[in-house]
Structure 1
Amino acid sequence: MKSTTIRMLRAYLIVASLGAVCIDACVVIAMLIFDVPERVFTSADFRIAMAASLLLLLLASRSLACAAFQAALASRHVMFDGVERADGRRGTGSVALRDDCPNRLLVLLHIRIHRQQLAMVAA
């Protein structure tokens, strides 16, 4: 497998893992504080609902990362091949990200999801 594919899959797994941790925390809180019986969380309906929730979380984080990337393009925190691209199109080469980008983590998530190479961190 290519390294860009591995990075993309790793980015998706990190987002899904964070979502699963939040779901687990909500389940524990529901069981301890609200006395919800355990059989509710072992049903097939609950498992389907949580799988759908994780899918929606992945889609939402992908769209949020895309919006952050577009904002970084507009504010010139991201450059393609050393040339600023204000039209919003993705370049074929590598991406340079400035250190002072306000949404740096989301922009990095977008770069990893779209299998782009991070060339350097521009000053």
Structure 2
Amino acid sequence: MKSTTIRMLRAYLIVASLGAVCIDVCVVIAMLVFDVPERVFTSADFRIAMAASLLLLLLATRSLASAAFRAALASRHVMVDGGSSQRESRSVALRDDCPHRLLVLLHIRIHRQQLAMVAA
């Protein structure tokens, strides 16, 4: 597997893992504070709903990262190098002072682009 594919999969996995942690925290709070029975969280309906919510979280995060990338392009914190139409061959230069740095890095990883750091 190419290193860009591994980075892309790792980025998706990190987002899904953070979402799963948030779901676990909500489940524990619901059980301890609101006395929701455990059988609610072991049902097939709950599992399907949580899988769907993780999918929606991934799509929302991808959309948010794309919006941050476009904003960084507009503010010249990001510069794309390479005129090729293939995403894998394009290199992206990211300045250190980018206000949405983490989301832009997530976008770069998701879209399998190469990162070249640029000083502020």
Shorter-chain TM band? over 0.9
Question: What amino acid maps onto 2:111 in structure 1?
Answer: H
Alignment-derived partner of residue 15 in structure 1: 15
Q: Distance in 1 between matches of 2:44 and 2:28?
A: 18
Q: Which runs of no fewer than 5 residues in structure 1 stay unpaired?
A: 83-89
TM-score when normalising by structure 1: 0.90
Pairing 1:72–2:68 present = no
Match of 1:103 among 100, 107, 110: 100
Q: Distance in 1 between matches of 2:49 and 2:95?
A: 39
Q: Identity percentage over the alignment?
A: 91
Q: Distance in 1 between matches of 2:91 and 2:50?
A: 36
Q: Distance in 2 between matches of 1:14 and 1:6?
A: 12
Q: Distance in 2 between matches of 1:36 and 1:10?
A: 34
CA deviations 1:36-69 (Å, max 9, x no partner) are 0000000000000000000000000000000000
- Higher helix fraction (1 or 2): 2
4+ residue stretches of structure 1 with deviation over 3 A? none
Q: Which runs of no fewer than 5 residues in structure 2 stay unpaired?
A: none
Matched positions, count: 117
Answer yes or no: is the 8 Å Cα contact 1:8–1:112 preserved in 2: yes
RMSD, aligned α-carbons: 1.7
Q: Are residues 91 and 50 of structure 1, via their aligned partners in 2, closer, same or farther at CA, if it must alter by over 3 Å?
A: closer
